[in-house]
């Protein structure tokens, strides 16, 4: 036991991301050898410093992997139509294989409407309604990045999922709902009994305390505490909120005293989410090139 009382095995996302990105780099090399430079385009609306920072991180990663990374920065005064025109241009450009609209966008603009303008096959976030439908039906398509990253993280660290009880606290469209569909699919790294519960359920801890694998996906800092966790359970902190640049996770760090395995406060699901973004992008490039 450490001086902090921590007993849980840590499940870092960094090694998972490294493995995924190594596979992406191999695909990029094959594409470039075939005369195709994969391109991940990014769109930033407004002047939010954090969002601009995230774009720079993704552009650096793109350069390291050998992607082209065209970028459009729209002013905060941009209209919905301005955003749609940028997306339509990227849709029509055969040299652009994936498109990311950095979220959040200014509140007067409608992100969901913009997303529906995007070509579903270029949607590297996997959040277009067509791609959510593909996920629900088990059809091929880009997967939502954080859910796909969580499945990869559990598999990498040898956490058995098939046949086990997974409880997801949170029903959001970006994490809770798609993760439930993903982990219920018949696949060696999934095939679980999945329950989705949320804070609208008065006695939600009754569900989380029975979970063999608990995924927090609410976005409420510190909502999951040791008394909400089954002793020895695997705990994945998927939901976060930011206070400036400070990351505030759903899972209180003291849960490590009860859990058998747990993602770290920093460096857990985040790195795997970014890796899945590039996996979606390179797969889109492979499809466009007729290699898949």
Q: Point out the residues that are catalytic.
A: 58, 102, 125
d(CA 120, CA 128): 6
**Three-state SS sequence of the chain:** CCCCCCCCEECCCHHHHHHHHHHHHHHHHHHHHCCCCCEEEEEEECCCHHHHHHHHHHHHHHHHHCCECCEEEECCCCCHHHHHHHHHHHHHCCCCCEEEECCCCCCCCCHHHHHHHCCHHHECCCCCHHHHHHHHHCCCCCCCHHHHHHHHHHHHCCCCCCCCEEEEECCCCCCHHHHHHHHHCCCCCCCCEEEEECCCCCCCHHHHCCCCEEEECCCCCCCECHHHCCCCCEEEECCEEEECCEEEECECHHHHHCCCEECCCCCCHHHHHHHHHHHHHHHHHHHHCCCC
Distance CA 92, CA 11 (A): 41
- Residues for the chain: how many in total? 292
């Amino acid at each position: 036991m450490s001086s902090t009382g921590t007993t849980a095995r840590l499940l870092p996302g960094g090694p998972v991301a490294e493995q995924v990105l190594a596979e992406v780099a191999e695909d990029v090399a094959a594409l470039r050898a075939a005369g195709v430079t994969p391109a991940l385009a990014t769109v930033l609306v407004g002047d939010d410093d954090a969002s601009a920072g995230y774009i720079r991180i993704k552009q650096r990663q793109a350069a390291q992997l050998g992607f082209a990374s065209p970028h459009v920065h729209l002013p905060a005064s941009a209209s919905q139509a301005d955003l749609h025109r940028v997306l339509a241009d990227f849709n029509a450009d055969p040299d652009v294989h994936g498109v990311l609209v950095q979220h959040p966008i200014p509140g007067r603009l409608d992100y969901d409407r913009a997303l529906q303008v995007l070509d579903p096959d270029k949607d590297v976030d996997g959040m277009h309604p067509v791609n959510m439908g593909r996920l629900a039906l088990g059809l091929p398509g880009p997967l939502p990045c954080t859910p796909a990253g969580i499945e990869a993280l559990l598999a990498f660290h040898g956490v058995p999922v098939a046949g086990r009880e997974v409880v997801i606290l949170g029903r959001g469209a970006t994490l809770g709902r798609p993760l439930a569909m993903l982990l219920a699919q018949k696949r060696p790294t999934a095939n679980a009994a999945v329950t989705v519960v949320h804070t609208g359920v008065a006695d939600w801890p009754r569900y989380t305390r029975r979970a063999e694998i608990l995924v927090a996906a609410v976005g409420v800092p510190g909502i999951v505490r040791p008394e909400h966790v089954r002793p020895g359970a695997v705990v994945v902190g998927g939901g976060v909120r930011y206070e400036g640049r400070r990351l505030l996770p759903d899972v209180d760090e003291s849960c490590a005293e009860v859990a058998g395995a747990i993602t770290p406060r920093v460096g857990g699901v985040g790195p795997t989410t970014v890796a899945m973004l590039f996996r979606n992008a390179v797969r889109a490039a492979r499809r466009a090139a007729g290699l898949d």
